[in-house]
């Protein structure tokens, strides 16, 4: 009988512990705020039409990038040692796709080219834009944090195979060490990048006889 009582007691104790842990996990999940989704966008009203119109076409390819960087998870690095991602914040798409669409949309608005495509369809084009996404992260250094964007771009004439390339690198300090300020700053950096990219393309085309 004593052994049977001990077994019953252990069963009851196990059940109580299980219910306690289950209710605790449920409460924790219930109390967590919803995950926020952010994106990189453009203000179309601020995009100026270029004086240069080549009457040519351009295809923008998705940037090459390492898998650990190309994720919807919002990454951050602390003191160049510890790397992780935010639990309650994420990007709306992979960085490579956001950058590709950003470039394509911006260049379409400038009207430098007759049309700009980022489609996966095998469309013929006069020029192509290849790129490598090197950095797209939130970096903490001691008590400060920065938004980092680095991308190497290649503009190629499909007919002559003439290639122009440039690396664009941006590291901007955040006014506050928050996810929201990181997103705002990354959007600001991305805007600067598209403007710098446009100047790079115009200068490259001006140095290259367009036939």
Task: Give per-residue pLDDT as tens, 5-20.
Answer: 666 556 665 655 655 5
110 plus 63 within the same structural domain: yes
Residue 3 inside a domain? The answer is yes
Q: Are 136 and 148 in contact (CB under 8 A)?
A: yes
42 plus 23 within the same structural domain: no
120 plus 195 within the same structural domain: yes
25 plus 42 within the same structural domain: no
CA distance 142 to 209: 50
**pLDDT digits 0-9 by tens, 117-130:** 888 778 889 999 99
142 plus 163 within the same structural domain: yes
Q: Enumerate the β-bridge partners of residue 132.
A: 64, 152
56 plus 95 within the same structural domain: yes
Q: State the total domains in the chain.
A: 2
26 plus 110 within the same structural domain: no
Contacts of residue 42, Cβ cutoff 8 Å, sequence gap at least 6: 102, 105, 106, 109, 191, 194
65 plus 161 within the same structural domain: yes
Residue 192 inside a domain? The answer is yes
Mean pLDDT by 10 residues, the chain (211 residues): 58 57 48 80 78 90 93 87 85 95 93 89 90 95 93 96 96 93 95 95 80 44
93 plus 183 within the same structural domain: yes
* First-to-last C-alpha distance (Å) of the chain: 100
Residue 211 inside a domain? The answer is no
108 plus 28 within the same structural domain: no
Q: Are 76 and 83 in contact (CB under 8 A)?
A: yes
CA distance 178 to 174: 8
Residue 110 inside a domain? The answer is yes
Q: What is the CATH number of the domain that holds 184?
A: 3.40.50.10610
> Which range of residues forms the domain containing residue 26?
1-32
27 plus 61 within the same structural domain: no
pTM of the complete model: 0.80
């Amino acid at each position: 009988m004593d052994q049977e009582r001990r077994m019953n007691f252990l069963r009851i104790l196990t059940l109580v512990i299980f219910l306690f842990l289950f209710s605790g996990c449920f409460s924790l999940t219930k109390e967590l705020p919803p995950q926020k989704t952010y994106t990189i966008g453009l203000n179309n009203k601020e995009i100026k039409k270029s004086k240069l119109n080549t009457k040519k076409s351009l295809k923008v390819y998705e940037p090459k990038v390492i898998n650990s960087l190309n994720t919807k998870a919002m990454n951050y690095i602390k003191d160049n040692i510890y790397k992780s991602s935010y639990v309650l914040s994420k990007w709306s798409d992979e960085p490579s796709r956001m950058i590709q669409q950003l470039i394509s949309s911006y260049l379409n608005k400038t009207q430098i080219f007759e049309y700009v495509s980022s489609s996966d369809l095998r469309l013929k084009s006069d020029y192509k834009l290849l790129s490598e996404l090197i950095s797209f992260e939130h970096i903490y250094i001691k008590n400060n944090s920065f938004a980092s964007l680095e991308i190497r771009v290649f503009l190629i004439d499909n007919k002559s195979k003439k290639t122009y390339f440039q690396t664009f690198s941006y590291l901007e300090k955040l006014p506050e060490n928050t996810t929201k300020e990181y997103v705002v700053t990354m959007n600001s950096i991305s805007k600067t990048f598209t403007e710098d990219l446009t100047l790079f393309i115009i200068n490259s085309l001006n140095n290259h006889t367009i036939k």
